[in-house]
Structure 1
Amino acid sequence: MDPIVTAQYGMLAATRRFEASAQRTATIGVEGSTASYEQEAVEQISAKHQFTAQLATIRTADAMWKELMALQERP
């Protein structure tokens, strides 16, 4: 399993969560809306942290790959 691909899917999921929350936030105050600022703020912060964690995974996998390649080049 490729950790970079997995993390990319995680980033996509976080982006979609954030966008869905932003759309719900835009409906606050509209009759029939069940969204609240508090719930959506928590959702957006959570999505941001999910995205950041996935980005850290990609950076770590990239650093490990570079180190592995450097080890292979050494005599």
Structure 2
Amino acid sequence: MDPIATAQYGLLAASRRFEDSASRVARMGVEGENVDLAAEVVQQITAKTEFSANLAVIRTAQDMTGELLDILA
């Protein structure tokens, strides 16, 4: 299992979630569009948190790989 690849997929999913929410908010004033602003804010905050968590996984995996290489050197 590759943690960096998994985290990259998580970054992509979080990015898409944020983009979808932002698109819905942008259509908020259009007639016939029913947008729950509070729910969209929650979606965007969740996406931001998911993005940060996946970045932390990548940083940690890189740090662990660096430490392992230092031990083996």
**In which range does the TM-score fall when normalised by the shorter chain?**
over 0.9
- TM normalised by structure 1 equals 0.93
The residue that corresponds to 2:28 in the other structure is 28
Q: How large is the Cα RMSD of the aligned pairs?
A: 0.7
State the AA in 1 paired with 2:24.
R
The residue that corresponds to 2:63 in the other structure is 63
Query: Which residues in structure 2 correspond to 1:1-75 (within 5 Å)?
Result: 1-73=1-73
Matched residues, number: 73
Query: Could you give the per-residue CA deviations for residues 2-40 of structure 1, whole angstroms, max 9, x where no partner exists?
Result: 100100010000000000000000111212212122111
Gaps of 5+ in 2: none
Give aligned-pair identity as a percent: 56
Q: Which aligned runs of 4 or more in structure 1 are off by greater than 4 angstroms?
A: none
Matched position secondary structure for 1:6? helix
- Determine which structure has more spread, i.e. the larger CA radius of gyration: 1
